[in-house]
């Protein structure tokens, strides 16, 4: 997992596990993941800030954690 700046995908999607009240919001880039296998995640409140770059296994772990704790 790494935190990076730089080129961003065109399409970011808000996670269905995000808080609908404006807090705890993350976005991910599904088209980028499908094309590259690189799962990008960012804070929706800071779209110009850094994003995380996750492997498929790391992404699956994050989703499992959100399901269990969401």
Domain range spanning residue 20?
Answer: 2-69
pTM exceeding 0.75: no
Alpha helix locations (H) across 1-70?
30-36, 56-69
Residues 6+ apart with CB under 8 A from 31: 9, 10, 11
Determine the 3-state secondary structure of 48 from DSSP: coil
Q: What percent of the chain has pLDDT over 70?
A: 71
Instruction: Quote the number of domains for the chain.
Output: 1
At 12-33, the pLDDT tens digits run 988 765 555 656 688 999 999 9
Q: Is the pLDDT of residue 60 over 90?
A: yes
Average pLDDT of the residues in 47-64: 93
């Amino acid at each position: 997992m790494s935190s990076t700046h730089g080129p961003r995908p065109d399409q970011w999607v808000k996670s269905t596990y995000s808080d609908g009240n404006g807090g705890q919001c993350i976005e991910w880039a599904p088209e980028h993941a499908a094309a590259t296998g690189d799962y990008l995640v960012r804070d929706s409140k800071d779209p110009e800030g850094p994003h995380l770059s996750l492997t498929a296994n790391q992404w699956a772990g994050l989703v499992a954690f959100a399901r269990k704790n969401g």
